[in-house]
């Protein structure tokens, strides 16, 4: 029987590419995100390959998160794989110039949102004594870079939560692991720079960055390992990147 994967942040970037590769490999997919038009388009595309269900919610809205997940039809209600991917950076400023709303947004989405979604799904995994949670961290979960302050703090929190979940869910045989990408060319920088596409494009110029499909391929590899194999913590960078701040440019 094919497994069901719930992917947050499936309307774009890493989440969308992951939904595409898992659909091609016959996983049933629950797409989550806020942008209805994109979700409908992706649902149409992937429905040709597999069974797809969409859930529209903002991960910051804990009531919407729990109600949406509780509303899943029976065919999708058993979630084998949770991919906690929704997240973004908002702003890139020294701490003294940071915007309080940007800080709230990042903490609410990247940390609290991940917790709300996990809280809604973990009980059924505990009951079945099986399940797989993949948390998308970042190289920013492992090192801090100048002006990255709060974004890096939220991703360090994801790293801590990944470890904590793995420990607490260990008695129930649930797999928990994180993938920590370096720079991936998605809408990430457009969001960070609030729609300034010129500035966003410059982030990926002069070297070959990771593409969302590179991370999606790895997620597929991770979920398709035999059940006794848990890839617990994986950092992935483009060959041109050695750390958050060391990038070999042409």
Residues forming the active site: 151
Choose from ligand 8X3, ligand NDP, none: what does 187 bind? Cβ within 5-8 Å by kind.
ligand NDP
Cβ proximity to ligand NDP: between 15 and 91 the closer is 15
Q: Annotate 9-40 with DSSP letters as a single string.
A: STTSHHHHHHHHHHHHTT-EEEEEES-HHHHH
Q: Which stretch binds ligand NDP (CB under 6 A): 18-26, 70-78, 80-88, 92-100?
A: 80-88
Q: Which residues contact 225 (CB under 8 A, 6 or more apart)?
A: 231
Q: For the chain, how many residues are written?
A: 250
Site membership for ligand NDP, residue 33 (CB under 6 A): yes
The residue among 91 and 131 lying less far from ligand 8X3, judged by its C-beta, is 91
User: Which does residue 50 bind out of ligand 8X3, ligand NDP, none, counting CB within 5 to 8 angstroms by kind?
Assistant: none
Name residues contacting ligand 8X3, limited to 109-138 (CB under 6 A). Answer: 138
Shortest CB 240 distance to ligand NDP, Å? 13
Q: Is 202 in the site for ligand NDP (CB under 6 A)?
A: no
| Close Cβ partners of 56 (under 8 Å, ≥ 6 residues apart) | 32, 33, 34, 36, 39, 68
**Contacts (Cβ under 8 Å, ≥6 apart) of 26:** 2, 49, 50
* Residue 4, H or E segment: strand 4-7
Q: Which of 18, 85, 149, 244 binds ligand NDP (CB under 6 A)?
A: 85
- Residue 172 structure tokens: 């129930």
CB 78 within 8 A of CB 53: no
Which residue's CB is nearer to ligand NDP, number 108 or number 173?
A: 108
Q: Which does 42 bind (CB under 5 to 8 A by kind): ligand NDP, ligand 8X3, none?
A: none
Instruction: Please identify which residue in 58, 213, 214, 217 interacts with ligand NDP, judged by CB under 6 A.
Output: 58
- Show contacts with ligand 8X3 in window 139-198 (CB under 6 A): 139-140, 148, 183, 188
Separation between Cα atoms, residue 205 and residue 157, nearest integer Å:
29
Whether the CB-CB separation of 159 and 137 falls below 8 Å is answered with yes
- 244 interacts with ligand 8X3 by CB under 6 A: yes
Site residues (CB under 6 A) for ligand NDP, limited to 140-179: none
**Cα–Cα distance between 44 and 52 in angstroms, integer?**
9
Which is nearer to ligand NDP, 88 or 162 (by Cβ)? 88
Q: Return the residue nearest ligand 8X3 (CB atom).
A: 138
Q: Angle of helix 13-24 relative to helix 36-47, nearest 10 degrees?
A: 20
């Amino acid at each position: 029987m094919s497994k069901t994967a719930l992917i947050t942040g499936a309307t774009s970037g890493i989440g969308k590419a992951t939904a595409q590769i898992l659909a091609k490999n016959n996983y049933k997919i629950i797409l989550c995100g806020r942008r209805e038009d994109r979700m409908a388009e992706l649902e149409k595309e992937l429905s040709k390959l597999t069974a797809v269900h969409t859930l529209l919610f903002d991960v910051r809205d804990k009531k919407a998160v729990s109600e949406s997940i509780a509303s899943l039809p029976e065919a999708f209600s058993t979630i084998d794989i949770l991919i906690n991917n929704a997240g973004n950076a908002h702003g890139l400023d020294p701490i003294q110039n940071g915007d309080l709303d940007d800080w709230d947004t990042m903490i609410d989405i990247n940390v609290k949102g991940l917790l709300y979604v996990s809280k809604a799904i973990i009980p059924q995994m505990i009951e079945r004594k099986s399940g797989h949670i993949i948390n998308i961290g970042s190289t920013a979960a492992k090192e801090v870079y100048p002006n990255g302050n709060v974004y890096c703090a939220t991703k360090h929190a994801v790293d801590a939560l990944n470890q904590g979940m793995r420990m607490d869910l260990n008695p129930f045989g649930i797999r928990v692991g994180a993938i920590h990408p370096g720079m991936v060319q998605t809408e990430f920088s457009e969001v960070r720079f609030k729609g300034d596409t010129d500035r966003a494009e410059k982030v990926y110029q002069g070297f070959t960055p990771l593409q969302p499909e590179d991370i999606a391929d790895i997620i597929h590899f991770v979920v398709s390992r035999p059940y006794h194999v848990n890839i617990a913590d994986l950092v992935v960078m483009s060959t041109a990147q050695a750390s958050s701040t060391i990038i070999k440019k042409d």
